Amino acid sequence: MDFELSEEQRRIRETLTEFAEREIKPHSTKWDKEEIFPRHVIEQLGALGFLGVSFPEKFGGGGADTLSQVLVVEGLSRYDASVGLTAAAHMSLSSGHINAFASDEHREHYVPDMIAAKKLGAWCLTEPSSGSDAAAMRTKAVRGGDNYTINGSKMFITNGSVGDVYVVMAITDESRGRDGVSAFIVDRATAGLSNGRRIEKLGLRASDTAEVIFENVTVPARNLIGEIGAGYRQTLKVLEGGRIGIAGFAMGIARGAMEEARAYALERGQFNQKIADFQAIQWMFADMATRIDASWMLICRAASLKDAGKPYAREAAMAKLFASETAMWATTKAVQIHGGYGYVTDFPVERYMRDAKLSEIGEGTSEVQRMIIAKSLLKDGYLPA
């Protein structure tokens, strides 16, 4: 496996860094404090092609590999995790689900506008009463003639109140359990689709998170994604790929926090020495860098397997687990290096720490990742790549 970035990937990273330094970094604290969703930035990212780097060229995408898409999420999260999460959910979940499983007609209709950010996507799986056990959903879709009528609600939906295109998982046959779940495309303007209470969060405050309510929402039967009853299987595949992106999201947070801490340690003095001169601080940086590099290698392996068409569920879970716990650990250390200043909002490391926590929860908690890894290990044994 070659860990060197290709020329195209280096160009993506460099161009994105220039954009983020100019358009995101100066505003991220304000967006966080005032809970501002920077839609204009997402639209700029779409116009520049960043939201479609790995999508087919025939839809206006870049036709690049999975790692290129991860570089976008990681690069954005390095400066503002809220923007990184918005992009990840839009690309990996909603747009990705439609691109992977919808009909050619729907792909041609939705994907070009979604990767250009003319339409934002929201992926509706989690419900108020079902989190890690996605199959315990209660939202139902009932067939009537040439239409389905959807009733229920979804919770903690990224882009939930700002989305234009919703991918909705709903029960179409209760008797079949997981094989009775189907996926549908629902446009924002559809009658009966609304939002519930505003969700206030610990972190990622510039990312839109909302409850989405479906009250007699009627959609054409052709809006079914793939086959009837295939929604849960589609969901598992979407989440597998999404976990690689969330690993990149977590790594970006960790790297951003480490870079902020490094700059502070090289500038701040104590006892006639820079903080960076103290061995205890240096060891924190050594451990941060090592864990971040290890996260990157796990991400590269999972992305490589995915693009090769090989099984990658365990490797994606490993990457997501390790990177997310690295993000939480590294941001805590970054706050510690700042001392009292790390605990106040004058410096961004407290935001990084708050944002990092979601990476251990979203798209499968750390406990779920360990279940996936252990189940694979016990079934297939351990064979390192």
Active site residues: 363
CA distances for 383 relative to 315, 376, 378, 379, 380, angstroms: 12, 11, 12, 12, 9
Nearest alpha carbon to residue 28 among 89, 90, 81: 81
What whole-number distance in Å separates Cα of residue 271 and Cα of residue 172? Answer: 68
Question: What are the structure tokens assigned to 132, written together?
Answer: 């890690």
Both structure tokens of 298: 């796990």
Angle at 216 between CA 210 and CA 220, to 5 degrees: 100
CA distance 287 to 128: 38
Q: What element of type H or E holds 109?
A: helix 104-115
Structure letter (DSSP) for residue 94: I
Question: Strand, helix or coil at 343?
Answer: helix
79, 130, 285 from 255: Cα distances, Å:
9, 32, 11
Encoding tokens for residue 236? 């598992």
- DSSP assignment string, 324-379: HHHHHHHHHHHHHHHGGGGGSTTSTHHHHHHHHGGGGTTTS-HHHHHHHHHHHHHH
